[in-house]
């Protein structure tokens, strides 16, 4: 029984780690210009980030033009599937938070808690399936020696993106303080 609990906790922790990465990437997409163009700006920022990510991965994996042309349509298709799965999890968490705010005094029932955990495990299984299928598809396009670096390239890109956002926020903070004469 203890082994099963540890296994489930490890799976939940891994899922939370993946959600955290996606959440951090989501912050980058929130850096949108104000005004009427907010929605358009978000799409433009998304496309800029997507292009930068593609260039980063191409350089890191040393892809030829032919490899990149064949690889990235498949890559973005699987990324969209992962994103949709993450959004599903996000909406489930939002719904749970709203319910818990309304029902502050009532604890979560065992049945409801079990349904929530089962839904998380189902999403984790689907995520694993998507990742397995994508890796198999990528292996049909790229040599394994290049593909092995994809995960670290994605991780490094996210780190750089977060660091640049921190720098930009710091610059904005300094600029607004300078504008106020501080």
Q: Of 42-56, 149-163, 168-182, where does mean pLDDT reach its minimum?
A: 168-182
Supply the pLDDT for residue 129: 97
Using the predicted structure, report yes or no on whether residue 31 has a pLDDT greater than 80: no
User: Does this model's pTM top 0.85?
Assistant: no
Using the predicted structure, report yes or no on whether residue 37 has a pLDDT greater than 50: no
- SS3 assignment for 28-63: HHHCCCCCCCHHHHHHHHHHHHHHHHHHHHHHHHCC
Using the predicted structure, report yes or no on whether residue 94 has a pLDDT greater than 90: no
Residue 139 to residue 129: CA distance in whole angstroms = 15
Residue 165 to residue 173: CA distance in whole angstroms = 12
Quickly state the pLDDT bin for 4 (edges 50, 70, 90).
low
Cα three-residue angle 47-33-38, rounded to 5 degrees: 80
Residue 23 to residue 98: CA distance in whole angstroms = 19
What percent of the chain is predicted at pLDDT more than 90?
A: 51
């Amino acid at each position: 029984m203890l082994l099963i609990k540890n296994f489930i906790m490890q799976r939940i922790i891994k899922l939370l780690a993946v959600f955290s990465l996606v959440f951090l990437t989501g912050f980058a997409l929130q850096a949108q210009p104000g005004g009427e163009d907010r929605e358009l700006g978000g799409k433009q920022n998304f496309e800029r980030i997507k292009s930068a990510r593609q260039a980063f991965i191409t350089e890191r994996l040393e892809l030829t033009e032919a490899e990149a042309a064949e690889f990235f349509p498949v890559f973005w298709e699987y990324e969209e599937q992962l994103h949709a799965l993450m959004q599903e999890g996000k909406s489930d968490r939002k719904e749970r938070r709203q319910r818990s705010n309304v029902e502050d005094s009532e604890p979560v029932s065992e049945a409801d808690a079990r349904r929530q955990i089962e839904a998380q495990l189902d999403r984790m299984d689907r995520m694993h399936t998507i990742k397995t299928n994508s890796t198999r598809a990528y292996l049909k396009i790229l040599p394994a020696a290049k593909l092995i670096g994809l995960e670290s390239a994605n991780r490094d890109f996210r780190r750089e993106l977060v660091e640049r956002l921190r720098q930009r926020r710091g610059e904005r903070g300094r600029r607004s303080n300078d504008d106020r004469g501080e």
